[in-house]
Chains A and B, each alone.
Chain A
């Protein structure tokens, strides 16, 4: 009966903390989540794809290089940047170094159609795959809900659109040492040798709370109250698992903003207390001085991604880490009067991780930075553009769900994509 009730709550648009499909939150501390882990990097504000993975160098689109300067690593073309960035700045990484290190694993998607060109709807669209709904969770939240809802910080966010769809709580951890301070919440100053209560007292407190929770579960309650009871119980129970983070707290955390976020996410992944993280740096919205801003931020972004991958390697979880790199829009193929570039509704994404076939590009744009429709089956540029497919975030997100193995999960079914028959991808996007 309770399982049916949860299903009904699911239909009613309520996330109940007891994981979808299970009866209720377990009474024991959750097992460590063992991966895969998902990190979504957001270049917030709209990156200039022609200065990264979709180089042009023609028609005045770029002032810092020409078409002949475009570089290649494997099958991936990219824009040169080393000569225009501050390589001495700690944490920066040039395009050259990034592609040299990761091209073999990198899957690039060009010619993505955002349909609109305003930050708020585009951020939502990019994060969730759904433009016309405020209810949909981000992919990071969805995968956390599907794969590890009992994790104490299943979905970690550092900014950008972070809607959870009410199916998983979000966690904001601004500083890594903070996690250490709360890791042993039942001990004085977090010192495991100084518990507030003796074990038998703690056991009795937990038993009393569990008993209360059991009694309440059988009572008539408003759905919202039931949801809150459930979330609260799960949060306090699952909190104990945070102790696992302590050994992975870097005592010398990095100073660079993305690296700091990455450090928190990785410690949480390694400890098995987190499934996904939404990382973000902003100010890509280069309406004035596009070249200066993009050459400042793209290397910082790539440096942050590089940091994450190297640290993951050190922690032994590199082979379980999936990275999604995105932005809510691109930049125009021309400069405005302020040397800036404005919003452009065609953009790109990059992916890397286990199960993702690298050294591959799908989609493209022409010399005017308009997208080339693709063949839904072969995923190559359609011979007849009128019969080709405009790749949009919902197709990418549908593919992401399939890739992550959550397309059939209750959480995904609650937030379906309605993709007309003729617009569905037939080929496997991630290889």
Chain B
């Protein structure tokens, strides 16, 4: 038995040994992986980026303080911010010895009047931990970041399926046999080349316009399209179509219809202009910054008449009767009905700034006397910088009391200033477009801009008075240089390709799965930032973004090698996989690509019901199908199969799309199974993009469906030897299709079954 004294000595030594290990771990030199990770994931990720950065940055409410953080997008920002916060963490109050950082955040030291955190909050604990670690004290145990590679265990999509997804998505067509062959041999390298060609096809530009329309929503005005041209400046020309002479059409009804059709086409040609600009920029390999800097707009022969410039530009059109042929033009500065409403311009031209200055955009996002262009600012930030400034409005203690207390709350109340200091200067940049309540677009405010708003400018830079007449161009130039522009454009392309917006940082830092969600976010974010960096380096070549995004693992992730049960890992994988419910337009295009003709009912009739948008009231696509959408899917599958199966069999075998190698008289039997399975393989590939093996479970199931139907039809005894009346071949009158073996109906059932599947209805 050892003496108590020896025991205590030994214990102390042993304890010292153990205590050395953690202490040694704690004494990592600054810059060790664990320390850096702790700062990035915890201090920055959960605290500083979400709270401090709101005010402690250039242009922020605390910009006059000594503690100014850098925008994380700037090179070296994180290191700068870490050094700054580390320095701050070392500061002590001389009297109490308490940490200045910790005392400030809970309001025990003056912090601009705000206690930002409470002592019991997770964020405070993180900062306290950081302070202790920075000062060499013993903190809570450090959990190192998950070292598992993000994509471990994640299967990528088969190259052939990727090819098909891209040609359908971007080219509204199936891959050619040559493209398939190239991909079989060269994999992703071949896909890259296919993409280059694909992005020169007209269908790609149409898709580009459609995708960006989902973002900008410019057609969604509460007025007829020609009224984007104001009465004040275009009164003599905007309604040109009403003067068109149709007297050569004798029939009165047809004459009216001709007039309506002209109006319809004219309106559509005006509505399309902003997205035609997008197409023009990309088609002509121009830097995509022209989205906000282009010193021109796109006009068609029809819309040119509305602007009153048709005679001037008509020789530049290839076909002046093509209402949707667009050319770039610079408008002269606007001439009003009286001189005082003439537009001020130092150059004699309208100060175009890409989509931002188009009448369509400004009318889509109008202003009111009280709104003061703030809606436009919100949309500007969202569309061009990828920031939703209304996303997370900070809670205000008593907004009503603030409104009553301050004469100008937006300039005086801290809770309001934090946002309005950023928003209101940009609102002032739009000041010359102050026609209210949608009545026109260009109109400087009588009496000048508001003095109870922060002066016009952007990110701390004032708009010089000499630049006011071209304020939107001034803003556009700065936006084009803002690193957030490139990121926003990459995010838009991601949305176009995947149908989903890019992830935002997870909100609840106390959630048990926060780490997994954060990893999902940062993983995707890094990819987006990489692509954005390259985009900027490539002079804003948008096609490069499509290429990079389409070939990225995020786009190609398609499955798991093994079932995942760990909730944290599930949280990391939560957003992976394209898995996009096709929109009404995409379904129709896919049907056309596969069958040679679309269905035609997802346009007006079922568009909204099937999750489409109208750019006005309904602006977000539905991502998950309701039962009503399920019913439409069933209808579509039934009707398309009914139409296409007999139609295909009526073609010559060499012209068939669905059944090139089989005739309706081939029934299931020992000698025919191989042929039937080959047909099924072809259908799987053509309709679903599946490359199954002949003896796979999926082919078995389809074969059993086909064979089972025929067997049961025979078991039931006599059956009608002809197809149902509705499933006739078009152009053959009332003649019903002969179906003595029930095979037509069985194949129709197979096609119905396939069209109801995930691989058809989703990408």
Residues of A within 8 A of B (CB): 4-5, 8-9, 11-15, 17, 113-118, 120-121, 131-135, 151-155, 159, 164, 166, 169-174, 178-179, 181-183, 185-186, 188, 194, 196-198, 200-201, 204-205, 208-209, 211-212, 215, 219-225, 227-229, 231-232, 234-242, 273, 287-288, 332, 336-338, 340, 342, 344-346, 368-371, 390
From the candidates B517, B624, B626, B638, name the one contacting A196 in the complex (CB within 8 A).
B638
The distance in angstroms between the C-alpha atoms of A358 and B571, with both chains bound, is: 45
Give the distance to chain A from B696, nearest Cβ to Cβ, in Å. Answer: 11
Partner of A224, one of B513, B579, B626: B579
Most buried by B among A15, A155, A172, A229: A172
Contact residues in A for B495 (Cβ distance below 8 Å): none
B653 at the interface (CB under 8 A from A): no
B574 within 8 A of partner (CB): yes
- Whether the pair B396, A338 counts as a contact (CB closer than 8 A) is no
Question: Judging by beta carbons under 8 Å apart, are B574 and A197 in contact?
Answer: no
B542-583 vs A: 1/0 string, CB under 8 Å?
000000000000000111111111010011011111010100
Which residue, of A173, A197, A242, has the highest number of chain B Cβ atoms within 10 A?
A197
Would you call A116 and B396 a contact (CB within 8 A)? yes
A-B contact pairs, 10 of them (CB 8 A): A11-B513, A172-B609, A178-B609, A179-B628, A194-B724, A196-B748, A223-B574, A235-B626, A287-B370, A345-B400
Smallest beta-carbon distance B641→chain A, Å: 8
Q: Of the candidates A131, A153, A197, A201, which one forms a contact with B393 in the assembled complex, judged by CB atoms under 8 Å apart?
A: A131
Interface residues of B (CB under 8 A from A): 154, 368-371, 390-401, 403-404, 437, 504, 507-508, 512-513, 516-517, 557-565, 567, 570-571, 573-577, 579, 581, 605-606, 608-609, 611, 617-618, 622, 624-635, 638-639, 641-642, 697-698, 701-702, 704-705, 708-709, 712-713, 716, 724, 726-727, 745-746, 748-749, 752-753, 756-758, 761-762
Which residues from chain B contact A116 at a C-beta distance below 8 Å? Answer: 393-396, 399
Residues of chain A with a CB closer than 8 A to B632's CB: 182, 185
State whether A17 and B624 are in contact (beta carbons under 8 Å apart), knowing that A114-B399, A185-B631 are contacts in the complex.
Answer: yes
Cβ-defined contact, A231 with B705, below 8 A: no
Chain B residues within 8 Å of A173, by CB: 609, 628
Question: A221, B638: Cβ atoms under 8 Å?
Answer: no
Do B562 and A220 have beta carbons less than 8 Å apart? Answer: yes
Select one of B393, B561, B758 contacting A121, CB under 8 A.
B393
CB distance from A413 to the nearest CB of B (A): 12
A223: which of B570, B624, B628 is its contact (CB, 8 Å)? Answer: B570
CB distance from B394 to the nearest CB of A (A): 8
B497 CB to nearest chain A CB (Å)? 15
Measured CB to CB, the closest approach of chain B to A24, in angstroms, equals: 15
Q: Please name all residues of chain B whose beta carbon is closer than 8 Å to the beta carbon of A332 when the two chains form the complex.
A: 403
Task: Tell me the smallest distance from the CB of B705 to a CB of chain A, in Å.
Answer: 5
Complex formed: what's the CA distance from A239 to B635 in Å? 11
Partner pick for B574 among A13, A182, A228, A338, CB 8 A cutoff: A13
| Interchain nearest-CB distance for B66 vs A (Å) | 29
**Smallest CB-CB separation from A245: which chain B residue?**
B628
A220 and B630 in contact (CB under 8 A), knowing A204-B709, A338-B369? Answer: no
Question: B351 to nearest A CB, angstroms?
Answer: 29
B627 engages A242 (CB within 8 Å): yes
B398 touches A113 (CB 8 A): yes
CA distance A151 to B626 in the complex (A): 9
The reply to whether A131 and B627 contact each other, CB–CB distance below 8 Å, is: no
**How many A-B residue pairs lie within 8 Å, measured between CB atoms?**
277
In contact, B756 and A236 (Cβ under 8 angstroms):
yes
Q: Is B745 in contact with A153, judged by CB distance below 8 angstroms?
A: no
Known pairs A17-B624, A116-B393; A370 contacts B401 (CB<8 A): yes
In the complex the two chains form, is A13's CB within 8 Å of B517's CB? yes
CB distance from A426 to the nearest CB of B (A): 23
Task: Determine the chain A residues whose CB is within 8 A of the CB of B392 once the complex forms.
Answer: 121, 132-134
State whether B635 touches A241 (Cβ < 8 A). no
User: B630 to A222, Cβ gap below 8 A?
Assistant: no
Interface pair B628/A242, CB less than 8 Å apart: yes
Q: Does A208 contact B633, Cβ atoms closer than 8 Å?
A: no
A12 with B567: CB separation less than 8 A: yes
When C-beta atoms are compared, the residue in chain A nearest to B601 turns out to be A181
Q: Are B577 and A222 in contact, CB atoms less than 8 angstroms apart?
A: yes
C-alpha gap A172/B621 in the complex (Å): 11
Q: Which of A4, A169, A221 contacts B560 (CB 8 A)?
A: A221
Q: Is the CB of B606 within 8 A of A178?
A: yes
Output the residue of A188, A236, A337 with the most chain B CB within 10 A.
A236
Cβ contact within 8 Å between A169 and B626: yes
Write the nearest CB–CB distance from B398 to chain A, whole angstroms.
7
Shortest CB-to-CB span from B220 to chain A, Å, is: 13
- Given A11-B567, A153-B628, A239-B627 in contact, is the A288-B403 Cβ separation under 8 Å? no
In the complex, are the beta carbons of A241 and B627 less than 8 A apart? yes
Q: Which of B570, B574, B625 contacts A235 (CB 8 A)?
A: B625
Contact of B575 among A113, A224, A240 (CB under 8 A): A224
Docked Cα-Cα span, A411 to B396, in Å, equals 28
Q: Using Cβ atoms and an 8 Å threshold, which residues of chain A touch B565?
A: 4-5, 8
Report how far A232 CA is from B708 CA in the complex, Å. 25
The reply to whether B758 and A229 form a contact with Cβ atoms under 8 Å apart is yes
B390 touches A235 (CB 8 A): no
Given contacts A332-B403, A345-B396, 8 further A-B contacts (CB under 8 A): A171-B628, A196-B748, A212-B698, A220-B563, A235-B630, A236-B630, A287-B369, A338-B369
Chain A contacts for B634, CB-based, 8 A:
185-186, 236, 239
Other-chain residue from A200, A231, A238 in contact with B624 (beta carbon distance below 8 A): A231
A204 to B750 CA separation, bound complex (whole angstroms): 10
The answer for the CA separation of A295 and B480 in the assembled complex, in Å, is: 46
Min CB–CB distance B176 → chain A (angstroms): 28
Shortest beta-carbon distance from B205 to chain A in Å: 29
**Contact flag A228-B581 (CB < 8 Å), given A235-B633, A242-B628:** yes
Contact A201 B749 (CB under 8 A): yes
- B222 CB → nearest A CB, Å: 10
- Determine which of B571, B575, B611, B709 lies in contact with A172 in the assembled complex, contact meaning CB atoms within 8 Å: B611
The answer, among B561, B630, B712, for a CB contact under 8 Å with A204, is: B712
A170-B622 in contact (CB<8A) = yes
Q: Could you say which residues of chain A place their CB within 8 Å of the CB of B709? A: 200-201, 204
* Chain B CB within 10 Å, residue with most, of A9, A169, A173, A345: A169
